[in-house]
Chain A
Amino acid sequence: MPDIVIEIKGLKTWFKTPKGVSKAVDGVSFSIPKGGTFALVGESGCGKSVTALSIIQLIPEPAGYIAGGNIILNNRDIVPLSEREKRDIRGNNISMIFQEPMTSLNPVFTVGDQIVETIMLHQGKSGAEAKAAAIEMFEKVGLPDPAGIFYEYPHRLSGGMRQRVMIAIALACRPDLLIADEPTTALDVTIQDQIIKLIKELQAEMGTAVLLITHNLALVYQNAETVGVMYAGKMAELAPAKALFRDPMHPYTVKLLRSIPGQEKRGKALDTIRGTVPPATSYPAGCHFSGRCPREMEGCAAIEPPLAERAPGHFAACHLHDPEFMAKPWSKPLRHEPDAMPPLSVPHDKRERLLEVKNLKTHYPVRKGLLKRVVGHVKAVDGIDLVVRKGSTLALVGESGCGKTTAGKSIIQLIRPTSGEIVFKGRELTRVKESELKPVRSLMQIIFQDPYSSLNPRLTIKDTIEEGVRALKTGLDKKGRLDKVTEVLERVGLTADMMWRYPHEFSGGQRQRIGIARALAVDPEFIVCDEAVSALDVSVQAQILNLLKSIQRDFGLSFLFITHDLAVVEYIADEVAVMYAGKIVERGTTEEIFSNPRHDYTKKLLSAIPRLDPGLVSAWKLPDHKPGR
């Protein structure tokens, strides 16, 4: 066994809330050896980030507190230390990089100042020495012109460069442990890959242990040695990465893995988990996953499963793998969901052209000076051609800032394009007056990314959904509108009585369903899904993707799917258009693009995404219910 850098034993981090004690982290144990990478995965709210903050001792006090357990760094428990001693540890022994490189650097200091501050504080170097060390660090993280960048302000750097600066600051004092909390989530795919490689390189060179927190399971598969799957404040499964992906033991892990979209799952529904994560103030007394588990047994809700070694190095907290429990009378199955996913595909019959985009350009004028004269144009969309066929899905992929959202909004005339043609059902739209667009409006709808800002917090769900019906379906009376709202709510898997509630009473996934219901209520034929599943957790994303596919099948809808997530594209799209800097660089069927990319940018994009082995994917099975001896 190599040297253990950090060991977490039975960590409990609780928060006092008006509703009672919220057990965000409720007894988590793991350790990371020198130079090792431990990945903590799980959906939002499962306690990953709180675990990380507990390790670096940055729990928001006094609401949050460590209720039990030890954090042993280099054979010393750091929980009882004084604030002064903890400060010495932070940045020096443990450092952290965050998800958002835009907000983790102070905009009023140069990046040089920010790294020198850390070096001088922890290593007692003089200003000149610290500067030399900083420039050396910048060189190490692969920043071009390190001496010049030393004097730059954060806003002059791109997101990827800022994240490199953050890594440089984090590693400047050669910490024993680097916590990377979703280090690549906010970055473009191609940059994600570079950043992960950089962390791996520096880790190999410095022998730093890395705690990688992410929800991207493919990334974990390729980069971590050990994986801990967290669910509702507890460790559900803990295993070497290869073993976990070959043979996931906990039903939650299996469900989570099977909800990831991908090429292998085309034509079938994605796996979903029933219900929602219970609030941290009221977990079940036994297994926290009971109530949602597809293999729940009678005793599960009352008896807590220990995290026990079920195969060499492979720990799982599930009674199904415990012969002793299985021999007891309370191991009778309470629920037994089928293991195979039902087929979910859209018939291929009539595929005539519904929408044609020819040489579409949307330019934003750049104005300057007192008189606001136009001095130039930002060519957000610069001449694109697209065809969307009836009942099919066209994915528009590209990195942030390439103009894909502007393209989507231009197509449904939320932004009036500068030039080009959009022919929808034989009608040209770009030259039609706003007032004459109304009949077309109901046929073209949009679903947004952020489930939080897509609903007006001051309107009830009924008012939100009814708005479009009222404006576009003028033939309906009050009762007719109410029936319509009920109908679409039920279609997206919500109940009619929910229409009287306000948006804040719903979870992210439910809000996304409401957004879909709002679009569906006016009977559209074409829907632009603008990153519609990007902000959701994998298991919720799977539910929404299933829903979108089933409404496409039932209503013969066409989708323009704008996304940067290639796994989703592989799963849902029939055709793909790759966009780069305002132009379409490659178009084709999903199969063509993914198996034989032609354009350099497409190749780069595809090689950058971390992938799971298709052989593994088909082998994921829920554990069987084997009665004990």
Chain B
Amino acid sequence: MPVILATDLIVYFLAGSIVYFAIATRKEGILSSAWRELKRNRLAMASLAILLAYAGVALLDSVRYRDPVVEDNGRVARAADGSVIYSAQALSLLDRAVEGLRTNTEKTYSAPFASTLYSKESVELPDGTIKRDYPPLKHPRSHWLGTDKVGNDVLYTALKGVRTGIVIGAGTTIVIIPFAIFFGVFAGYYGGFIDDIVQYIYTTLASIPGVLLIVAFMLLFGSSGYQGGLISRSEIYLKFFVPNDRLFWLCLILGITSWTDLCRLIRGETLKLRELEYVQASRAFGISKPGIIYRHIVPNVMHLVLITFVLQFSGLVLAEAILSYIGIGVGPEMGSWGNMINTARLELSRDPVVWWNLFGAFLFMLALVLPANIFGDAVRDALDPRLRFR
């Protein structure tokens, strides 16, 4: 029985747009010439490959279904009314693909590629004597990034964090961009009363401390939401579609609190653009204001959107870490890099230091944010006709 979370829709939307752009580059037009330009940039293509791999992992992790409960006699368990009983856990395709990583747990911490646990315990030797030593692992040398305090594979947790990171980055941006472009362009182009209202809104929003607003919002909406782990927790169990997903509320509030910067940038750029002569020339043709905005203003502010998106992406992943730390971010059972960093706080202060949780999160974040920056830059250049044909 499939289960769809509200945040899955964000991932599907992202996957859909990737497919759309892939098809659009096949047709003649600005996208196809930009794609030809991009293909010449090997660094950008390598970055794209990494980004697609991330998107693929996120997509695999967003398709999930619940298995029927199988009784000991091999038959599918049924309720009294004859309906099939499903397991409380909805495993994603990713969970199923890396079954080994998920289930090969140890007792507690073990270093990457180690064959023993990280701390000494009393081990009973075959001859019956008890010795203080590092006990051997159940799955020696199979944990590439070690295991955490409860013995879960860190690589698996980091992989699970991919979806969270992508959802936070993409989901928040999906909230930000329409707000920012719409309000910014209209405020800048129409000016006057509309400008006053928009400025009033974003000044007000920006004057409320962001964290407080996020905390209040999450306590109102997010606290009862699905936090990862068992699907039948709290009141949401047995639903096919889960709208009350904590991560979704997090994206929403992060978007609401962070569209103002981009909006302000776009408004300023629009103020400049509307006085430019090609806009005046269009007005002399009697073209309507929405027409001018669509043809002349929006394409010329897109570079700001792209740059802000790429710069904000890493900031959003970090924001997730901070919010998880104060307990209103992603639930502890939903793997996230924020949670990994958060646990690393204590692990780094113990002796000997447990570094692989932090390292794992760092590695995965770097490998997402760096290609995103490089690729974003390359896309901006490729879309700018001024920089082509040099």
Instruction: Give residues in A with beta carbon < 8 Å to B.
Output: 18, 372, 409, 412, 414, 437-438, 441-442, 444-446, 448-450, 453-459, 464, 467-468, 471-472, 502-505, 515, 518-519, 522
A464:B278 contact, CB within 8 angstroms: yes
B285 touches A467 (CB 8 A): yes
> Could you tell me if A453 and B277 are in contact, using CB atoms closer than 8 angstroms?
yes
Kindly name the residue among A445, A502, A522 whose own CB sees the greatest number of chain B CB atoms within 10 A. Answer: A502
Question: Known contacts A409-B280, A414-B284, A518-B281; can you find 17 more A-B pairs with CB under 8 A?
Answer: A18-B390, A438-B286, A441-B284, A441-B285, A445-B284, A446-B284, A450-B277, A455-B278, A456-B278, A458-B299, A458-B384, A459-B296, A467-B282, A471-B285, A472-B285, A502-B386, A505-B389
CB-defined A-B contacts under 8 Å, sample of 13: A414-B283, A445-B284, A446-B281, A449-B277, A455-B278, A458-B300, A458-B385, A459-B295, A464-B278, A471-B285, A504-B386, A505-B389, A522-B285
Interface of B, secondary structure class, is helix
Q: Does B287 contact A (CB under 8 A)?
A: yes
CB distance from A228 to the nearest CB of B (A): 32
Give which listed residue, B296, B299, B385, contacts A504 with CB less than 8 A.
Answer: B385
Residue count of chain B within 8 Å CB distance of chain A: 23
Tell me whether A454 and B281 are in contact in the complex, defined as CB-CB below 8 angstroms, given that A467-B295, A504-B386 are known contacts: yes
A472 to B284, CA, bound (A): 10
**Given the complex of chains A and B, what is the CA–CA distance between A446 and B280 in angstroms?**
9
The 9 closest A-B pairs by CB, nearest first: A454-B277, A502-B385, A468-B285, A441-B286, A448-B277, A504-B386, A456-B278, A458-B299, A438-B286
Interface residues of B (CB under 8 A from A): 196, 276-278, 280-287, 291, 295-296, 299-300, 384-386, 388-390
Q: Number of residue pairs across A and B with beta carbons under 8 Å? A: 72
Report yes or no: A453 in contact with B295, Cβ–Cβ below 8 A.
no
- Chain A residue numbers with a CB within 8 Å of B281 are 446, 448, 454, 468, 515, 518-519
Nearest chain A CB to B285 CB, angstrom units: 4
B286 touches A414 (CB 8 A): no
Complex CA distance for A468 and B291, rounded to whole angstroms: 12
Contact of A457 with B385 at beta-carbon distance under 8 Å, contacts A448-B280, A450-B277 already known:
yes
Residue of B nearest to A469 (CB): B285
Residue on A with the closest CB to B297? A456
- List, in ascending order, chain B residues with CB within 8 A of A459's CB: 295-296
Which chain A residues lie closer than 8 Å to B280 at the CB level? 409, 414, 446, 448
Nearest CB on A from B276, distance (A): 5
Q: Which of B276, B284, B388 lies at the interface centre, i.e. has the most chain A CB atoms within 10 A of its CB?
A: B284
Contact between A457 and B286, CB atoms less than 8 A apart = no
B277 contacts A457, C-beta separation under 8 Å: no
- Please determine whether B295 and A456 come into contact, CB atoms closer than 8 angstroms: yes
By a CB distance below 8 angstroms, the chain A residues around B284 are: 412, 414, 441, 444-446, 468
A410 to B312, CA, bound (A): 43
The CA-CA distance from A454 to B296 in the complex, in Å, is 11
* B283 CB contacts on chain A under 8 angstroms: 414
Closest Cβ of chain A to B233, distance in Å, is 50
Task: Point out the residues of chain A lying under 8 angstroms from B385, CB to CB.
Answer: 457-458, 502-504
Contact across chains for A457 and B386 when beta carbons are under 8 A apart: yes
